[in-house]
Amino acid sequence: MARLALLSVSDKTGLVELAKTLVEEFGFDLISSGGTAKAIAAANLPVTKVSDYTGSPEILGGRVKTLHPKIHGGILARQDLPEDQKDLADNGIRPLDLVVVNLYPFEQTIAKADVTMADAIENIDIGGPAMLRAAAKNHAHLTVLCSAEQYRPYLDALRASEGQVPLAFRQACARAAFWHTASYDQAIATYLTDTASEADALPQQWALTGRQQATLRYGENPHQTAAWYRTGSVPIGWAGAEQLQGKELSYNNLVDLEAARRIIAEFPSDRPAAAVLKHTNPCGVAMGDTLASAYRRAYDADDVSAFGGIVVLNRAIDADTAQQLTGTFLECIVAPGCDAAAQDILAKKQNLRVLVLEDLLTGPKQGVTAIAGGFLLQAPDTYRDDPATWQIVTEAQPSDAELAEMLFAWRVVKHVKSNAIVVTHQQQTLGIGAGQMNRVGSVSIALAQAGEKAQGAVLASDGFFPFDDSVRTAAAAGIRALVQPGGSRRDDDSIKAANELGLIMAMTGVRHFLH
């Protein structure tokens, strides 16, 4: 008797080619349902509809098609067990040799801006996961395929083994099927949780699954293995970015690029902005009248550290900006676009990685940190700071221009590793103190880097000043205004020192630690 294959797919990529090869080269009989059967029949290939095979019509508008003993008996039968073979014979059931199933496009559906709950629910597949799980469980006796990418390897395995697919291949396909259904269920559970939860609420249960996007050469260091995974079947974020040129991305590149995306998301595209990063910390951030001037100012903020850095821009790269970008060695550039003239200029730097990520604003909904025995989950720090809510706690009050500068500094310090200090003037960073074990050290580093340019500048601190020493150090360097969260029991000491020295001080009431 000919071998029997069940084909029931939502994504019909490669379907006809697979069906044709199964029938003409290997002599399979095919059974199929719904649109899959129509596609196979339209290609003039023999196929039996599931409803004709089972003797039961599709009901409930197609919701029930394959949930039938003649289908699941054929999938789950153990072909080396006499009792199972007797049950098949007594019930007129043929054993299946191949099950090819992919699922309703749930993630593609919920990715639509106008999706309704009813649309989402209707795209939850029931029969598909049941068949995949059954076939994966019984992989000792049949093969299960859940992706068009598996079709060619399966056919090659059939040819190489004279029609007997090796157990190791079937086991690999079973693993893929279980991961497929696991990620599918996780997407559904996450959607239902997100739609039912308050914006900042964290669920009682949470899972993370991903599909390997790429094997990376190594992790943070050459002795560490690493790979890049994307979540969901719809490539979004960095998985959906277009790499125009350059070497393959490394682990550290991707970590830096995400840090770059987060900082540029602070600056809407109504005015050009640029940032240069090293080791996830900004070494230069600036705004300008043009994108080229914004980049030049960010680069000039610390041209030593910019060497080998990551550049992020909030507008599409034009020719003038591209010309500026080729003036030094950079690892990566990312922007929401890149015009043809700019691409031609950047192409001269063949190893320079240039990426286009149209949406630089949307980041992950949760932040995950692995710890021994589990993980930590938190909402991302996407708080939008509003100077109207700040307290100006000193006698000296800021002008509109000074308040705008304080906001610029505050947006940058949010993305510097704690303890973080940022000195800025005219929408350009002048000095950055990052990741020090005490705030005094960060203040000293930032002010030393700013040097004489600190005269009339703004200093932002991601945490409060527990003593007035940093206030006095800032004043001595020429700082005009300070912005900090406040909240210390000794805030009055800092306020008193600021008043004594004629400084402006704002307390935001919001802390932005970055560990």
CA separation, residue 442 to residues 315, 431, 435, 447 (Å): 31, 10, 8, 9
What separation, in Å, do the N-terminal and C-terminal C-alpha atoms of the chain show?
Answer: 65
Q: What are phi and psi of 301, to 5 degrees?
A: -60, -30
Out of 137, 247, 349, 496, the active site residue is 137
Q: What are phi and psi of 71, to 5 degrees?
A: -85, -55
- Can you count the helices (H) and strands (E) in the chain? 19, 21
Q: Is-catalytic flag, 137?
A: yes
Asked if 285 and 275 count as a contact pair (C-beta separation under 8 A), the reply is: yes
The label of the residue with tokens 């029609």 reads 163
Asked if 488 and 465 count as a contact pair (C-beta separation under 8 A), the reply is: yes
Per the DSSP assignment, residues forming a β-bridge with 234 are none
From the list 102, 177, 175, 171, the residue with the least C-alpha distance to 142 is 171
Out of 38, 279, 349, 496, the active site residue is 279
CA separation, residue 349 to residues 215, 325, 399 (Å): 24, 10, 44
What DSSP element (H or E) covers 492?
helix 491-501
Rounded-to-integer distance, Cα 324 and Cα 313, Å: 13
Asked if 416 and 432 count as a contact pair (C-beta separation under 8 A), the reply is: yes
Q: Is-catalytic flag, 512?
A: no
Q: What share of the chain is helix, strand, coil (3-state, %, to 5)?
A: 40, 20, 40
Chain centroid to CA 130: how far? 29
Beta carbons within 10 angstroms of residue 62's beta carbon: 11
Q: What tokens does 288 get?
A: 């300008």
Q: Hey, is 299 helix, strand or coil?
A: helix
Q: What tokens does 102 get?
A: 């992919």
Give strand ranges (E) for 147-294.
Answer: 211-216, 226-230, 242-245, 273-278, 281-287
User: Active-site positions?
Assistant: 137, 279
